[in-house]
A and B are shown apart, each in its own frame.
Chain A
């Protein structure tokens, strides 16, 4: 078994770019990642995509001159890119392949005119539960329980849009007020449009290989994947809470860490404001019921005790589903190398990535991946 390191990362710009196809988006990400790693070939590729058509991985890679090597496509909803990373990591760790490319690709603006079309083979999506409504149910429940206030929900959006001011790759950024967030167009009560991630196109990539102790290598301390279990309706928690908590415990154990509070910077799945609040609690960064207060008090902002989503998160950087996990990984890699510019978390040495794939009826999620990384 080998210690595994991220040797290079790269991404496209994130945003609505319907004129750019998967090849163009992936080219940006892969070229940057290979250059960053200082290599020109890989032994295998794992590709994460959700709505990519059949064959998109090989069609894309052939245009980048990556042919012949094993190419495997994985789908785990929003956690697809992180799943590709997890599998690439495992392949290197076990010696199956020497150097592996993990790539996430998603072209959403040409697939949907607005919100993602609910999947008709899923009972609740067939019943009209669009993804914003799924998260709105959690937000409404938190409000009912007094576990969050509308202003605390909005604080997550204010924070992440402000973080993205320092991220030139982000789809959106801005200096919003809580009032502006709450006053924006209602999507699904209580979530307003500034509390929902946008429709995004993008790609992100990482090169993984055995750790050699190089000065720019970011070591993978531990990674874990869980699929959803039957959502326990006697649980006090909203959907997603338990799977994030349990996957985090697995990843921390693999990393030899006691708690998520041991890490210096995290990128989490904030497809909607309530998602970041639930996740910071489930990770154990803040006590249960304290996620909203932490966001409002600046605890999870740059400069706070536990900075969350310095990239701007899904809310602002954008959320090209299959690419998101690797975009999160790229951000943590830059943070741990001290290359994050105006959004750098000072002295960050340990980082964590969490991605939650949601939206399968009866289950408390589709899949969750958590990874812990350590800087050079």
Chain B
């Protein structure tokens, strides 16, 4: 990272007791909006929220491979916007991808990268 800041703003993935990785986020009790963040109120309607875990599986909404130097990163690296099943759209790194992940393809959350980024792997 370019420089240290206080709290890490990225979505937090954790391993559930069943061994699967999930994103710890929120669900709005008023409008059912979901988000990959533990914010105090619903970003859409300001309604009350409750903690909710999302994943581990989802569908790639779009994807790219970043091929330029970005501070703190080693190119190339593959990114995808993943619509987690019944959950939010999250930005994730893609395991072992030299080319962009297939849009519409199924993926599964796995252990985060060494840098702490949410990460997915393609399902066969």
Residues of chain A whose beta carbon lies under 8 Å from any beta carbon of chain B: 114-115, 117-118, 120-124, 126-130, 132-133, 136-138, 140-141, 144, 185-190, 229-231, 233, 238, 361-362
Q: Smallest Cβ distance from A207 to chain B, in angstroms?
A: 38
A residues near B79, Cβ cutoff 8 Å: 127-129, 133, 137
Residue from A127, A140, A229 within 8 A of B63 (CB atoms): A140
B residues near A187, Cβ cutoff 8 Å: 66-68
Residue from A117, A130, A361 within 8 A of B66 (CB atoms): A130
B residues near A186, Cβ cutoff 8 Å: 67
A189→B65 CA distance, assembly (Å): 6
Given contacts A129-B79, A188-B65, 17 further A-B contacts (CB under 8 A): A114-B69, A115-B70, A117-B2, A118-B71, A126-B1, A126-B8, A128-B70, A133-B64, A137-B62, A140-B103, A144-B104, A189-B65, A189-B67, A230-B33, A231-B89, A233-B83, A362-B35
Q: Smallest Cβ distance from B89 to chain A, in angstroms?
A: 5
* Those of B1-20 within 8 Å (CB) of chain A: 1-3, 5, 8-11
Most buried by A among B33, B62, B83, B99: B62
Q: Using a Cβ–Cβ cut-off of 8 Å, how many residues does chain B contribute to the interface with A?
A: 39
Cβ B65 vs Cβ A138 within 8 A: no
A130→B88 CA distance, assembly (Å): 21
A31→B27 CA distance, assembly (Å): 54
B108 within 8 A of A: no
Cβ A138 vs Cβ B62 within 8 A: yes
Q: Smallest Cβ distance from B7 to chain A, in angstroms?
A: 9
Minimum CB distance partner of A134 in chain B: B64
Most buried by B among A132, A140, A190: A140
